[in-house]
């Protein structure tokens, strides 16, 4: 992502794989299953929606797939804008949509076994604020 000459703010978010699952249990590994084409298109659609919704010159999303260990970088999202507020909003929007809508299937594995992860009620409530 190269900010345009008129962009005065760049906001970025780097997300790390958690050491604890939403149930409080230890996570030894997170697996992100994906489908070539489908997953990339879902991320691109989210990025394009952010560009259309906010006054941003550029957005960038990089998302890992496959096996990820706790503490590893899992996602990077950034937005460049003439003003900081729009850059912050666009980055926040990107992350809310990526967490709940990107075409990934998440599986946490820990000492007690594994389980598929779905968006939580809090994730859905956070996402709903953008539909207003």
Q: Which residue has the higher pLDDT, 74 or 2?
A: 74
DSSP of the chain:
----TT--EEEEEEEE--SB-TTS-B-SEEEEEE-TTHHHHHHHHHHHHHHHHS--SEEEEEE--EEE-TTSEEEEEEEEESSHHHHHHHHHHHHHHHHHHSSEEEEEEETTEEEEE---HHHHHHHHGGG-
Which residues neighbour 7 within 8 Å (Cβ) at sequence distance 6 or greater?
Answer: 56, 57, 58, 80, 81, 82, 87
* pLDDT class of 119 with cuts at 50, 70, 90: confident
Q: Is the pLDDT of residue 17 over 80?
A: yes
What the chain holds in terms of domains, given with CATH numbers, is: 9-131 (3.90.1170.40)
Q: Kindly tell me if the per-residue pLDDT of 120 is higher than 90.
A: no
pLDDT digits (tens, 9 = 90+) for 46-77: 999 999 999 999 999 999 999 999 999 999 99
What pLDDT is stored for residue 5 in this prediction? 55
Answering whether pTM is above 0.85, one says: yes
pLDDT band at 6 (very low <50, low <70, confident <90, very high): low
């Amino acid at each position: 992502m190269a900010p345009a000459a008129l962009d005065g703010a760049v906001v970025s978010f780097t997300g790390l794989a958690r050491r604890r699952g939403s149930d409080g249990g230890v996570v030894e590994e997170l697996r992100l299953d994906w489908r070539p084409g489908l997953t990339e298109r879902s991320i691109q659609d989210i990025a394009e929606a952010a560009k259309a919704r906010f006054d941003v010159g550029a957005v960038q999303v990089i998302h890992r797939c496959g096996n990820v260990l706790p503490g590893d970088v899992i996602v990077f999202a950034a937005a460049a804008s003439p003003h900081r507020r729009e850059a912050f909003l666009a980055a926040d929007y990107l992350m809310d949509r990526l967490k709940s809508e990107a075409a990934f299937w998440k599986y946490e594995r820990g000492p007690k076994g594994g389980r598929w992860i779905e968006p939580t009620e809090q994730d859905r409530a956070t996402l709903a604020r953008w539909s207003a």
